[in-house]
Amino acid sequence: MLIMFSILLIVVLGFIGLALDVGQVIGRKTELQNLADNAALAAAPELVGTAAGLANAVTKAKASAAGQSLYRRRMQGALLSDDSIRFASAADAPAGAWHAAGAVPDPARALFVRVDTRDNLPALGQVTTAFLGAWSPALRTLDTSGRAVAGRSSLRITPLAICALSAAPASLRTNPGPPERREALEFGFRRGVAYNLFNLNPHGAAPEHFLLNPLGPLGAIGSSAQLSDASVEPFICSGSVLHTAIGATPIHVHRPFPTALWPAFNARFNQYGANRCNPVTAPPDTNIRAFPNALSNWWMNVPSGSNAVASGGTPLLTVADLPPLAAGTPASIAPASYGPLWSFAKAVQYADPKPAGDYTAFPNSAWASLYPGLPTAPASNSFYPASGTPYGSSAFLTAPVGNAGVAQRRVLHIALLACPLPAGSDVLANVLGIGRFFMTAPASASVLSGEFAGMADELALGGPAELLR
């Protein structure tokens, strides 16, 4: 029995040693994987298509590894080197397509980050064994690593597209006044004016609006299943599409936008009965008050509907977009037909080049020159906020009940297309830019009121960062 015990003791001790050494390796592997996951998730939100964004991503990844990792049994952070942080245009890019921040060919396409501790200097995954080295010198040190790829697989763009009113990113509208007001237009839209997005067409008298395919590949016509109401409605509820970037690549659009899907827009007003939106993934806005509203302190001197009325004829625009009249010519436009002006955004003054940051807003005293009418032009009264706009003022606030709100959920990011488009229900279209439209009131089957609030940078509309690999 002593002889058998001695022999078996050697075997048992060998297995114990193997378990201890392998446990060390597995523990280090888990630490490095957590480190890589955290670092990649910290870096991904900084990828906004610029060289500065890449530099910020490297900084965030290193800070995460140094301060938040579980390295060395939670006793210390790790020092990530530039070699371990790489960027590419696709999550599944081949090995040769991943570049260090300073060597990225096109920062606008580098939307994914990879953290791989195998490439780190100094090495992080070397584990000195206690028992395996006795069997072989090659086993005295074992190496392990963690690898993670993170990025954003969606864009916060609503799957509704309309025609740009003009192909020019910026143009001048001269309102003669008096006094003369030089107003900036962006793709033909006027800031502070609410448009019925279901009733516009710069090239005809019939409304043109499109469903953006939120699922299909860019540059190709997707399947009809991708455009079914059941497939598309969740994306309208959340205001997103499953594209990393659109850029200059044509995208599949379907005309017209399905009438049955309009209730999905109203989740932003805490209305869920007529749609299949979920208040967790599609929360209401923090302010669900409709503009206009039956208020004694309405900020305009005239009552009005939720948007500017249609101009009629060809092109189909709004009364606010009619060509400026000569100075001193009486305007025949009823002031109430302009809709609720400046509820979220103010008209801006033209400048070329565009000032750093944004255009300068007009003062409230400019209304009479910007929006002429009879018997009198619309004007802001004393209830208009001294700073900001009515949307952010407590006097014009109604908070949602029963669900937590998210600020500016009523802002729709809408693709502005290069029109006219070819005939047919399913065509490819080029996106000129992404417009910001503030919903002034809940939608209906024929009206989606959106006050133009300027343009949005597509790369700044990325969805939440996700671990992809």
- Name the percent of the chain in helix, strand, coil, to the closest 5: 30, 20, 50
Tell me what the mean pLDDT of segment 195-221 comes to. Answer: 96
pLDDT (average), residues 412-430: 97
Q: Please name which of 190, 166, 405 lies closest in space to residue 318, comparing C-alpha atoms.
A: 190
Query: In whole angstroms, what is the distance from residue 42 CA to residue 22 CA?
Result: 30
Task: Please tell me the total number of residues recorded for the chain in this structure.
Answer: 469
Share of the chain above pLDDT 90, in %: 65
Write out the H or E segment, with its range, that includes residue 305: none
Q: How would you classify the pairing of strands 251-254 and 209-212? A: antiparallel
Query: Looking at the predicted structure, is the pLDDT value of residue 20 above 80?
Result: no
325 CB neighbour count, 10 Å cutoff:
14
pLDDT for the residue numbered 207: 96
pLDDT score at 44? 92
* Distance, CA of 54 to chain centre: 19
Q: Say if residues 267 and 233 touch (Cβ distance below 8 Å).
A: no
Q: Distance between CA atoms of 417 and 188, rounded to whole angstroms?
A: 12
The tens digit of pLDDT for each residue in 99-146 reads: 999 899 998 888 999 999 889 888 887 777 766 666 667 667 778 888
Helix (H, G, I), strand (E, B), or coil: what is residue 163? Answer: strand
The pTM score is 0.86
Residue 271 is predicted with a pLDDT of: 97
The stretch 36-56 carries a mean pLDDT of 91
**What is 356-396 written as a DSSP string?**
SSSPPBPPGGGHHHHS--SS----B-TTS-SSS-GGG-GGG
* DSSP-derived pairing of the beta strands 411-417 and 160-163: parallel
Whether the predicted pLDDT of 353 surpasses 90: yes
pLDDT band of residue 376 (cuts 50, 70, 90) is confident
Distance CA 393, CA 137 (A): 73
Confidence of residue 70 (pLDDT cuts 50, 70, 90): low
Structure tokens at 244: 């990393």
72 φ/ψ sector (left φ>0, alpha ψ -120 to 50, else beta): left
Return the pLDDT at 127: 74
CA separation for the pair 377, 335 (Å, rounded): 6
Angle at which helix 51-67 crosses helix 2-43, to 10 degrees, equals: 150
Given this model, what pLDDT does residue 67 score?
Answer: 76
* Mean predicted lDDT score pLDDT of the chain: 90
- Give percent above pLDDT 70 in the chain: 93
Tens-place pLDDT, residues 275-305: 999 999 999 999 999 998 777 789 998 888 8
| Residue 175 burial (CB count, 10 A) | 21
d(CA 410, CA 441): 9
60/43 Cα distance (integer angstroms) = 5
Query: Residue 433's pLDDT band (boundaries 50, 70, 90)?
Result: very high
8 A C-beta contact, residue 149 and residue 468 = yes
Give 387's contacts (C-beta < 8 A, 6+ positions apart): none
Cβ neighbours, 10 Å, residue 134:
12
Rounded-to-integer distance, Cα 467 and Cα 38, Å: 9
Is the bond into 256 cis (omega within 30 degrees of 0)? yes
| pLDDT recorded at residue 11 | 65
334 contacts: CB under 8 Å, gap ≥ 6: 373, 374
Take residue 186 and report the two structure tokens written for it: 């962006």
Q: Which two tokens stand for residue 129?
A: 């064994």
Query: Mean pLDDT, to the nearest integer, of 10-29?
Result: 69
Contact predicate 57/152, CB 8 Å? no
Among residues 258, 157, 263, which one has the least CA distance to residue 215? 157
DSSP string computed for 133-189:
HHH-GGGSEEE---EEEEE---B---SEEEE-S-S-SSEEEEE--SSPEEEEEETTE
pLDDT at 393 over 70: yes
Q: What is the rounded average pLDDT of the residues 239-257?
A: 94
At 23, the pLDDT band (50, 70, 90 cuts) reads confident
Average pLDDT over residues 418-436: 97
Dihedral pair phi/psi, residue 134, rounded to 5° = -70, -25
